[in-house]
Amino acid sequence: MIKDFFNLIFPRCCLACGQALIRQERLLCTYCHARLPITNYHLAADNPLMLRFYGKVKVNEVFSYLKFIKGGITQKVLHSIKYDNYPELGQLLGRWFACELIRMGKLNDVDLIVPVPLHKSRRRKRGYNQSEYVAKGFATACKIPCSNRVLARIAKSTSQAKKKDRLERWQNVHNIFAVKQPELVSGKHILVIDDVLTTGATLEACAHPLLEAGCTTVSFATLAVAI
């Protein structure tokens, strides 16, 4: 029974391919780990992710770990994290990504990590906020403070996935975030963390109130980017 309970927390099958995990593997098998479609955009001299925010919000850096392609491994991974009750996988991937960014000297000036909040009714329904887990993975790896009390989602949006274009997505999230404790952000470089980057409307909607509250610099990091 103890073993069954343990398997529930740490499944003994790979969450991406379903193969049995061997002893030292956790959540993902070595094969799936090796075939994760890493973007490596953070290594590019001209990071293409910055384009999504040009003329919309002043952002210092944008990092996304995995390429999201419909039907691909990243979709399976995100599904496990968001809908199958395995947020620990988000934490693990967040830690791996942060380790890579640290190695490249990309997180040196970040003062505070802030996950994109879920509306409390959605959080209650799901039982957790997957972005908080990703942020926790980042914070553990880079030893930078992380707070889920900085930003609040003050209005409920409908699912961004159902919105067809950028304007609809922007209207859906515009003005739905607020800074709860401005004293925590004033003068700081904040790294906002989300699970997936699509048009960037959600992250942009988080950045505006942070900048208005006195934070000096905003950067974004996501586990995946829709390409």
Query: Contact positions toward Zn ion, by CB under 5 A?
Result: 14, 16-17, 29, 32
Q: Report in angstroms how near the CB of residue 20 gets to Zn ion at its nearest.
A: 10
Query: 35 or 174: whose CB is closer to Zn ion?
Result: 35
Q: Report in angstroms how near the CB of residue 14 gets to Zn ion at its nearest.
A: 3
Query: 14 or 176: whose CB is closer to Zn ion?
Result: 14
Q: What is the DSSP letter of 90?
A: H
Q: Report in angstroms how near the CB of residue 10 gets to Zn ion at its nearest.
A: 15
Joined together, the tokens standing for residue 156 give: 């409920």
**What is the rounded distance in angstroms from the CA atom of residue 69 to the CA atom of residue 171?**
25
Q: Report in angstroms how near the CB of residue 93 gets to Zn ion at its nearest.
A: 14
Query: 2 or 22: whose CB is closer to Zn ion?
Result: 22
Query: 20 or 43: whose CB is closer to Zn ion?
Result: 20
Could you tell me if 224 and 196 are in contact, meaning their C-beta atoms sit under 8 angstroms apart? Answer: yes
Query: 32 or 210: whose CB is closer to Zn ion?
Result: 32
Instruction: Compute the CA torsion angle 172, 136, 142, 173 (nearest 10 deg).
Output: 0
**Cα-atom radius of gyration of the chain, to the nearest Å?**
17
**What is the rounded distance in angstroms from the CA atom of residue 126 to the CA atom of residue 24?**
29
Q: Report in angstroms how near the CB of residue 26 gets to Zn ion at its nearest.
A: 12
Q: Find, among 63, 53, 96, the residue nearest to 191 by Cα.
A: 63
Q: Could you give the 3-state DSSP secondary structure of residue 220?
A: strand
Bridge-based pairing of strands 177-179 and 62-68 is unpaired
